[in-house]
Amino acid sequence: MPENYINPARPKIRFSLIECITIGLGAGRVGVAAYSITHRPNSYVPGKTLARLFNLDFSKLPDTINLAMHWGQGMLAAGVRGLMSYYGIVGPFGSYLFMGVRLLVDQTLENYTGVGALPWYVVQILVLILVLVLVVVLVVVLVVVLVVVLVVVLVVICVKIQTFTLFIPPTEEF
């Protein structure tokens, strides 16, 4: 492929893979630092998850373990985002996919360790919406198919009995 070839579907990245991951790690560090100064009350679920993963005593150092999980997970996830950027997964679509990656990592670790619980009400709502959308799509497809079949049958019947004069004006003989 020529060197000056530009593929609009994949943005040109001017950094190496290691540089993209390093930039992602740095961005994660800045993001966690910014989030840490908001003075929002701590959720100790991440810390309890880390404690269970590495068999630590959470009651001795809850804040330290919690911060370690926040910083570690934030920086590693941002490194994954840097990796995604290197391979051209950027912009709003990349951010949307990354949101799924973050939720997947959080929920998987929390459920694996038994600290978190599945948000069943969210799953039930999503399944209900999916079923309703599928039913609506199925009904629309069936109606369209029935209309097409009826039109084809009517055209065939009119042609067979040779009275198909929909587009041909009748002629008068003198």
Query: pLDDT in tens for each of the 174 residues of the chain?
Result: 445 555 555 566 678 888 888 998 999 999 888 887 888 888 899 999 999 999 999 999 999 999 999 899 888 889 999 888 888 888 888 888 888 888 888 888 888 888 887 666 677 778 888 888 898 999 999 999 999 999 988 888 877 776 555 555 666 665
Distance of CA 44 to the CA centre of its chain: 27
The whole-angstrom separation of Cα 150 and Cα 155 is: 9
**Letter for the amino acid at 104?**
L
The answer to whether residues 110 and 49 touch, using CB atoms and an 8 Å cutoff, is yes
Q: Which residue has the tokens 């049958």?
A: 153
Tokens (6 digits) for 151? 């039109």
